[in-house]
């Protein structure tokens, strides 16, 4: 039982590390390790590396929470697609909360269609489609700043993380609503 846990932990950490390293390598920025803080338009290599990182992170999370193995690859591809919708909309000038909303919406719709076609529970695909959006770094920074007595910065990071979480929830709700409305017809 310890070998699969180690492989899973390495896949999750490797995906996150790959995305962070790619960001640092292409931007020279060691502080802001999120694509949404980029001041430049990402090139093909940045997008490819972030996509691989999102895929591996989602795949590792699917293994960690013990989803069915046959769902790992399609759910990871849906997660990458949803994240790329977010990246594209951000680069086109849409603000981050709206970009996250539409990325989660796209991921939700694709997840429910995939679940239906594979005859599986939709929650599996819905959960995995948003892994790349989860603001883990923002929540960590919030705790770091608050623990260090920097309440203003901690509060800003916390509010930003909560906005991200809210947009994820709204995007998934809207996608589920639209899917059910279309399915009734």
pLDDT at position 38: 44
Instruction: Give CA–CA dist 142/148, Å, rounded.
Output: 10
Q: Tell me if the pTM is above 0.75.
A: no
pLDDT at position 130: 86
pLDDT at position 64: 86
111-126 pLDDT, tens digit per residue, is 999 999 999 888 888 8
pLDDT at position 74: 92
Instruction: Give CA–CA dist 164/158, Å, rounded.
Output: 10
**Mutual angle of helices 44-64 and 69-91, in 10-degree steps:** 140
Instruction: Give CA–CA dist 84/127, Å, rounded.
Output: 17
Percent of the chain clearing pLDDT 70 (strictly above):
77
Instruction: Give CA–CA dist 72/127, Å, rounded.
Output: 12
25-84 pLDDT, tens digit per residue, is 555 544 444 444 444 566 778 888 888 888 888 888 888 888 888 988 899 999 999 999
134-150 pLDDT, tens digit per residue, is 888 888 888 888 888 88
pLDDT at position 53: 84
Local confidence band at 20 (pLDDT 50, 70, 90 cut-offs): low
Q: In whole angstroms, how far apart are CA 37 and each of 6, 20, 27, 117, 165?
A: 31, 12, 11, 36, 17
Local confidence band at 108 (pLDDT 50, 70, 90 cut-offs): very high
Question: With 80 as the cut, is the pLDDT of residue 3 above it?
Answer: no
Joined tokens for residue 137: 């770094």
């Amino acid at each position: 039982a310890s070998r699969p846990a180690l492989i899973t932990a390495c896949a999750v950490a490797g995906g996150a590390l790959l995305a962070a390293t790619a960001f640092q390598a292409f931007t020279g920025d060691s502080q802001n390790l999120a694509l949404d803080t980029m001041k430049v338009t990402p090139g093909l290599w940045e997008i490819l590396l972030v996509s691989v990182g999102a895929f591996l992170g989602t795949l590792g999370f699917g293994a960690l929470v013990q989803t069915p193995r046959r769902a790992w690859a399609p759910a990871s591809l849906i997660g990458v697609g949803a994240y790329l919708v977010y990246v594209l909309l951000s680069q086109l000038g849409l603000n981050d909360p709206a970009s996250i909303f539409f990325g989660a919406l796209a991921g939700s719709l694709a997840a429910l269609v995939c679940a239906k076609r594979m005859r599986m529970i939709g929650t599996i695909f819905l959960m995995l489609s948003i892994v790349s959006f989860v603001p883990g770094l923002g929540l960590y920074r919030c705790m770091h700043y608050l623990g260090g007595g920097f309440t203003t910065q901690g509060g800003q990071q916390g509010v930003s993380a909560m906005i991200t979480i809210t947009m994820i929830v709204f995007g998934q709700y809207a996608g589920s609503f639209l899917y059910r409305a279309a399915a009734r017809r």
